[in-house]
Amino acid sequence: MKTISIRIVVPTNIGELLKLGTLIYNKHLADGTKSPLNSLSDYNWNDHGPNLPLASAKHDEAEEYTRRAEQAYRERDRLMGDVTGLVRSSRDLLKAVFSKTPKKLGEWGFEVNDTPRVVKTK
C-alpha cells in the first residue's frame, strides 16, 4: 500500500494568516475545556486569540491605506506630466542664459555645485 504524504499549509500572507487564526480560535472557544489546543505549553490561545479581531481590523485598515496611497500616486503621476523633461529643459535654457554666472540658477531653486567631481578608482 502506497503512503500518501500530506502537507498542512500555513499561509504566509498576513490577511490569510489572520483569517485562519480566527477560525482556529473560534473552534478552540467552541470546544471549550475539551479543545486539544489547551495542551499547548509555549503558546496560549486564550492570551492571543482575543487580539485577532483587532489585528484583522488594523490589517484591513492598513490595506485600505495602501489602496488609497496607490490611487493618490496614480493621480499624482497623471497630474505631473513630464515634469522631469520640463525641469531639465528649463535648467538647460537657464544655463545658456546665465552661461557666465551659472550660480544664478540657485535663484531658480537649482542646487549649484561648483566643486570638482571625485573620480572613483578601483
**14: which 3 cell numbers?**
498576513
Rounded average pLDDT over 88-93: 95
Determine the pLDDT at residue 121.
Answer: 79
Residue 24: CB atoms within 10 A of its CB come to 15
Q: What's the CA gap between 62 and 72, in Å, rounded?
A: 15
Q: Is the predicted pLDDT of residue 86 greater than 80, yes or no?
A: yes
Q: What's the CA gap between 48 and 25, in Å, rounded?
A: 9
Q: Is the predicted pLDDT of residue 66 greater than 80, yes or no?
A: yes
Q: Is the predicted pLDDT of residue 47 greater than 80, yes or no?
A: yes
Q: Is the predicted pLDDT of residue 115 greater than 90, yes or no?
A: no
Determine the pLDDT at residue 37.
Answer: 96
Q: Is the predicted pLDDT of residue 51 greater than 80, yes or no?
A: yes
